[in-house]
Amino acid sequence: MEKNILWEAEGKVCAFTGYRPAKMPFPSEKDPLCIALKQRLKDEIYTAVSEGCTDFLCGMALGTDTWAAELVLEIQKTLSGIKPVHLHAYLPFAGQDARWSAQGRKRYRAILDRCDSITVLADRYTPSCMEARNEAMIRRADRLIAVYDGKKGGTANTIRLAHEKGIALRILSPVPPQWPVTGTENPKEDDEIKLF
């Protein structure tokens, strides 16, 4: 796959943001909460496609980004010849996966091999490279799908950027309202989440 190639969207552009595994309220991907979240994420991607999104931008971090990318690729295969669905990777720096587990790196590479384009924003890690990646995606996006429940960090900042740009925003709580997690506050899907 060539890196940093220019691409033109065929329709609207949708970006993803969300938590890494450590911020999720479940211990693993095999947990029923994670399985349910992935299904809701898949449903949101199908909704985006039905509303004209053809190109999907992913920051390729562990957790939400990885799951979203895999789901886009699954939907791309399902809709092949019916509707265009493209996946574009936005990497904050070259070698983002260098310190990941062997399994994480293998999964990452398998996704990158199937991306329609790869944009690498920096040659090496810098303290601002993640934020620069998020800003680059929001500049291209017409819509943002976020996995968010009010925690501070990069996801909250990306949502704020999307809000400032006025793009369509869909927020999914990691835990659906019918499955509360004891001792935490989990907003319902359609509840307003305080962003600032």
Residue 4: what pLDDT? Answer: 78
Quick one: CA dihedral 115, 117, 122, 126, positive or negative?
A: negative
Is the pTM for the entire model greater than 0.95? Answer: no
Range list of H helices, 51-194: 64-78, 102-114, 129-140, 154-165
- Say whether pLDDT at 23 is over 90: yes
| N- to C-terminal Cα separation, the chain | 39
Q: Could you list the beta-strand ranges (E) of the chain.
A: 12-18, 53-58, 86-91, 117-120, 143-147, 168-172
Name every residue whose Cβ is closer than 8 Å to that of residue 60 and which is 6 or more positions away in sequence: 66, 69, 89, 90, 91, 96, 108, 111, 112
* CB-based contact 169:163 (threshold 8 Å): yes
Domain residue ranges of the chain, discontinuous segments joined by +: 12-172
15 in Cβ contact with 143 (< 8 Å): yes
pLDDT band for position 178 (cuts 50, 70, 90): low
The single-letter DSSP state of residue 181 is P
Work out the mean pLDDT of the chain and round it to a whole number: 90
Q: Which two tokens stand for residue 48?
A: 């985006």
Q: How many Å apart are CA 14 and CA 24, to the nearest integer?
A: 22
Asked if residue 57 lies in contact with residue 141, where contact means CB atoms within 8 angstroms, the answer is yes
* Topology of the domain covering 12-172: Rossmann fold (3.40.50)
State yes or no: pLDDT of 179 exceeds 80.
Answer: no
Closest-CA residue to 187 (of 162, 176, 19): 176
The pLDDT of residue 142 is above 50: yes
Cα–chain-centroid distance for residue 21? 13
**Which pLDDT belongs to residue 6?**
79
